[in-house]
Structure 1
Amino acid sequence: MERGVKVGFLTGLHGLADGGVGPYGERLWSTLGAHAFGPGLGVAEVPHDLHFGRGPRGRPLESFLDLLHVPAQVPPPNLRVRYACTMHDVQHLHHPEHFDAEVLAFREAAYPALLDRAAHVVVSFPHVRDDLLHHFGLPPEKVTVVPLPWGHFRLPEPPPAERARFADRHRRLGDFFLYPAQTWPHKNHLRLIDAFERFAAETGSPAGLVCTGRRNGHMAAIEARLANSPVRARVRFLGIVPEAELAWLYRRCLAVVIPTLYEAGSIPLGEAMSLGVPVACSAVTSLPDTIRNPAATFDPRDPDAIAAQLCRLAQDPAHREAIATHGSRRFEELTREPTAQRLEAAWRTALHAMAG
């Protein structure tokens, strides 16, 4: 590029976007902070606020930015500056049953136009890129796979005073499996409860099941399923917990289990692996390539398969240790992926196409 250009990165989406979109944006921005950008490219943070669309001193974004990266799949309305976006998932193409009619209609109507207007599209995994090329007809050069910022998935160890407080708060837990996830249908809590009932009946284990994360509209169906369950007293939904408490729960659990039916990229999987915690997950979408351990995956549509993994995790310490050790090694491999370099290359591709 012959002249200096400036790329803005939109931050502050934590409370404005669902699921892991906010944490993803924060962690990606942190990764960029340690990256030395090549010549001719300046990068600036653009905080999202009520006056979005204008920068310092009320200047329109397009007056001082060449490109804005929006780390979410739906950019803010009335955006006049050219943008690149991160498309996290197109789950509705594979599981339309997980969406109400209004959300499904919005995705079907809005996504093609949003993708067409974007100067470039970033995805975290090849399976999402394949969907965009196949279902939306995007040219291959417009879509770049940028790995998740795995190095920023490590949760800090809580100090001793906080650990003591958490131990007192959860003193009645005993042994437990942990599943951090919002209660969306695709997170598959209902089949996990089926599997947990079978695990309890087969093993006689007193272990519990702890679920964290926002409780949304699907929670009513989960509560109805638990109402007459023989394990209802052993299944706890804690809602959203602070990161320090979540880190304590990770380290205290027997194992993490992630039975999701669809995932663009699992933050809990990365967090568990980073802490050296045994974790088993669904053999769907990005998860098998993330963990790269067939012994730690299962068919999430089969409660018997989930239950078998729970039984082995509870009864076989060597299995837990092997999964934890493999997960730690695999996580260190993931942290070496060139996330910032790939994102810079995607921006340069977009800027070159815009100039041409």
Structure 2
Amino acid sequence: MHEFVICHQRSNHIIAELARDAPAIDIDAKRSSVMNLDERIVSLLPSRARKLAGWLLRGSGSHRVDERLYLREGIEFLVRLAPYADFIGDIPYGVVLWDLQYRLNPWFPEISSGGEWERRDDGTSSMLRRASVIYVGTEEGRRQIEYFYQVPSNRIEVLSSPAPELALAAADVPPDSDVVRRLGVKGEYLFYPAQFWPHKNHVVVLEACRLIRQQTGWDLGVVFSGGDKGNRQHVDDYARRLGLAEKTLFTGFVEQAELIQLYKNAFCLVYPTFCGPEGLPPMEAFALGCPVVASAIPGASEQLGNAALLHPPTDEQALADAIISLRDAEVRNALVAAGRRHATRAHWDDYAKGIVASLDRFARIRRCWGAR
């Protein structure tokens, strides 16, 4: 049997709320109790200066504050549910890895500019090579870790990512066109929920709409939701150059009920990202009965199966052809049915059981030494 404790930061309100009824360690509240004088001084500095000073302290060989806190609290193994490489310590750990796309697509500015590529590669290299177990969603993810970082296959667990609960719970909610009209949606539209990073490839959707209009006369709109990460103006300008400004809607972030209705009323979800394949929108769309057209990046066919139409992310004609094919009711209905089946193939209980099984196996190694 394993005893689980949620280690969380008070600033993460969602995790803090979940931790209210479970054994938990509030890192923010307890961190100061294990700090030495230098670390207390550093904690009072502005954010940027604090990062630099903290790096200098680590470079001198001192243990990270959080690690000392975990050791004091008797933590023997950490399961890190997000692949942030800011803690590499001497406590064994497992980590969930979403992708290694900075290795496959190193040219995007959000991945390469200002030393970002080097920071990612240095941190990920240490994180993966020291991990006791790595959790990925596909066999393609396993192959990439083995290839880029030479991690033995037996330290990599493939756990299929389930559809988000919010989408499964809303599967039978009826479409309500009034909700999307209030957002400014007019007529048939493609839906793409993604933050405005260059690698999200919003422009290929606009190019596909241009081709569809030229080749069929179909005046199909586009709804882009998500926050601006510096590339929205470029996408807006691109739409204007193609004469699609009036058919392109930018909603920003939307409420959960609005998101559900954007899926349910859309002609289809388009997901032409260059990076992945561990993306939530296709799984949400499957559960909500929205057809999916996605990019054929490595691992996509494994994650999405036969429930999505795939196209090369650089090929707007292939994207346009896939969208047009969904005007055939038989094709569309078959894809929606396949998506609903795919959304229920994996469950969060199974995901949790997979993590626990990996801990069971590692416990036979961890029993070889006592508390430190």
Same fold, judged at TM 0.5 (above): yes
User: Shift in Å at residue 330 of structure 1?
Assistant: 2.0
Q: What residue identity is the alignment partner of 1:60?
A: L
Secondary structure of the equivalent of 2:251?
strand
Residue correspondence of structure 1 range 265-284 to structure 2 within 5 A: 265-284=278-297
The question of 1:342 aligning with 2:354 is answered yes
Q: What residue identity is the alignment partner of 1:217?
A: G
User: Shift in Å at residue 247 of structure 1?
Assistant: 0.2
Residue correspondence of structure 1 range 236-251 to structure 2 within 5 A: 236-251=249-264
Q: Pick the aligned partner of 2:132 from 119, 134, 139.
A: 119
Structure 2 Cα separation of the partners of residues 190 and 211 of structure 1: 11
Structure 2 Cα separation of the partners of residues 347 and 300 of structure 1: 38
Structure 1 stretch displaced more, 226-235 or 331-340: 331-340
Offset from partner CA, 1:183-213 (integer Å, 9 cap, x none): 2222111212111111122121222111112
Secondary structure of the equivalent of 1:311?
helix
Residues 12/204 of structure 1: CA separation in 2 closer, same or farther (3 Å cut): farther
Structure 1 Cα separation of the partners of residues 323 and 29 of structure 2: 46
Structure 1 stretch displaced more, 108-117 or 271-280: 108-117
- Quote the residue 1:199 is aligned against: 212
Residue correspondence of structure 1 range 1-356 to structure 2 within 5 A: 5-10=2-7, 44-46=23-25, 49=28, 60-62=69-71, 63-77=73-87, 81-98=91-108, 99-101=111-113, 102-150=115-163, 152=165, 154=167, 156-157=169-170, 166-170=179-183, 172-293=185-306, 296-313=309-326, 315-335=327-347, 338-356=350-368
Residues 261/78 of structure 1: CA separation in 2 closer, same or farther (3 Å cut): closer
Structure 2 Cα separation of the partners of residues 74 and 141 of structure 1: 22
User: Shift in Å at residue 295 of structure 1?
Assistant: 6.8
Structure 2 Cα separation of the partners of residues 139 and 240 of structure 1: 40
Instruction: Give 5+ residue unaligned stretches, structure 2.
Output: 35-65
Secondary structure of the equivalent of 1:100?
helix
User: Shift in Å at residue 52 of structure 1?
Assistant: 5.5
Secondary structure of the equivalent of 2:262?
helix
Structure 2 Cα separation of the partners of residues 95 and 277 of structure 1: 29
Residues 54/297 of structure 1: CA separation in 2 closer, same or farther (3 Å cut): farther
Q: Tell me the TM-score normalised to structure 1 length.
A: 0.80
Q: Percent identity?
A: 22
Secondary structure of the equivalent of 1:272?
helix
Offset from partner CA, 1:257-287 (integer Å, 9 cap, x none): 1112221312111111011221121222332
Offset from partner CA, 1:221-275 (integer Å, 9 cap, x none): 3233223221121111211112211001111111111112221312111111011
Structure 2 Cα separation of the partners of residues 167 and 136 of structure 1: 45
Residues 51/88 of structure 1: CA separation in 2 closer, same or farther (3 Å cut): farther
Offset from partner CA, 1:137-187 (integer Å, 9 cap, x none): 112222111221336252544999x95862451364221111111122221
Q: What residue identity is the alignment partner of 2:302?
A: D
Give the paired residue count.
Answer: 329
Structure 1 Cα separation of the partners of residues 105 and 158 of structure 2: 23
Structure 1 stretch displaced more, 75-84 or 120-129: 75-84
Q: Which has the higher contact order (CA 8 A, sep 6+)?
A: 1
Structure 1 Cα separation of the partners of residues 274 and 216 of structure 2: 26
The answer to whether the Cα contact below 8 Å between 2:222 and 2:248 also exists between their aligned partners in 1 is: yes
Q: What residue identity is the alignment partner of 1:349?
A: R
Instruction: Give 5+ residue unaligned stretches, structure 1.
Output: 17-21, 34-42
Residues 127/167 of structure 1: CA separation in 2 closer, same or farther (3 Å cut): closer
Structure 2 Cα separation of the partners of residues 11 and 264 of structure 1: 27
Secondary structure of the equivalent of 1:281?
strand
Structure 1 Cα separation of the partners of residues 282 and 126 of structure 2: 32
Secondary structure of the equivalent of 2:222?
strand
Q: What residue identity is the alignment partner of 1:341?
A: K
Structure label with greater radius of gyration: 2
Structure 1 Cα separation of the partners of residues 349 and 306 of structure 2: 19
Structure 2 Cα separation of the partners of residues 337 and 290 of structure 1: 18
Q: Calculate the aligned-residue CA RMSD, in Å.
A: 3.5
Q: What residue identity is the alignment partner of 1:207?
A: L
Secondary structure of the equivalent of 1:60?
helix
Q: What residue identity is the alignment partner of 1:190?
A: V
Secondary structure of the equivalent of 2:362?
helix
Structure 1 Cα separation of the partners of residues 123 and 169 of structure 2: 38
